[in-house]
Chain A
Amino acid sequence: AQSVTQLGSHVSVSEGALVLLRCNYSSSVPPYLFWYVQYPNQGLQLLLKYTTGATLVKGINGFEAEFKKSETSFHLTKPSAHMSDAAEYFCAVSYFGNEKLTFGTGTRLTIIP
């Protein structure tokens, strides 16, 4: 079985500050890891994904995440927050041969002007 834990249901950062959203996973097989973003009344949009290869992955809107197997983590970062980053962020896991996504509970990011 696989699972995802997102630490912090709400995170607030000042505009221009570093964004760090935490995600830890549990999987008995090599995982595929994803970050999705959800704006109000919208569907989920893929920010970035890790399947194999380079452990530092870059996504849209300046976000990146690093897969750390030893820490079972896949934290999302952005060097400088923008007001438009305010949204809910979901970490998800699947694995090769089973594309069902298991989602974390989400982190609501608020940007302080």
Chain B
Amino acid sequence: DARVTQTPRHKVTEMGQEVTMRCQPILGHNTVFWYRQTMMQGLELLAYFRNRAPLDDSGMPKDRFSAEMPDATLATLKIQPSEPRDSAVYFCASGLRERNTEAFFGQGTRLTVV
């Protein structure tokens, strides 16, 4: 059963600490998305990659957020330093460009910054 795997599922950290969230996309998928979900803003696209290259990260605060794909099986989203306003659920999703259809979502990482 192919699925997107995100770790950790929950993270509580203190303000100012570095946070790293990881995502394993579905094997063979060449497009990876990072979304953030909050009550106030809903689902926002932070960044997305195709074939490991960043295509759009305009939704990401550049001063503290960074997203990378070290290899085809791992995507990371880092926040340094973290702030309370970063508290949200972060979703990774993957898809296959050639089919240009739906994105498959992971279970999310619930981040709480205190």
Asked whether A99 lies within 8 Å of B105 as measured between CB atoms, the reply is no
B95 contacts which chain A residues (CB < 8 A)?
99
Interface size on B, residues (CB 8 A): 22
Q: Which A residues fall within an 8 A CB radius of B?
A: 32, 34, 36, 41-46, 49, 51, 90, 96-97, 99-106
- Complex Cα gap A69–B104 (Å): 26
Nearest CB in chain B to that of A6: its residue: B42
Closest 4 CB pairs of A and B: A43-B105, A103-B43, A44-B105, A46-B102
Not counting A32-B101, A43-B106, a sample of 7 additional A-B residue pairs whose C-beta atoms are within 8 angstroms of each other reads: A43-B105, A45-B105, A46-B102, A90-B43, A100-B45, A101-B33, A101-B103
Q: Tell me if B's interface is mostly helix, strand, loop or mixed.
A: strand
A101 contacts which chain B residues (CB < 8 A)?
33, 45, 103
Q: Which B residues fall within an 8 A CB radius of A?
A: 4, 31, 33, 42-43, 45, 48, 56, 91, 93, 95, 97, 100-108, 110
CB proximity of A52 to chain B, nearest CB, Å:
11
Q: List 27 A-B contacts (CB under 8 A).
A: A32-B100, A32-B101, A34-B102, A36-B105, A41-B110, A42-B108, A43-B4, A43-B91, A43-B108, A44-B91, A45-B105, A46-B104, A49-B101, A90-B43, A96-B100, A97-B100, A99-B97, A99-B103, A100-B33, A100-B45, A100-B48, A101-B33, A101-B103, A102-B45, A103-B42, A104-B42, A105-B42
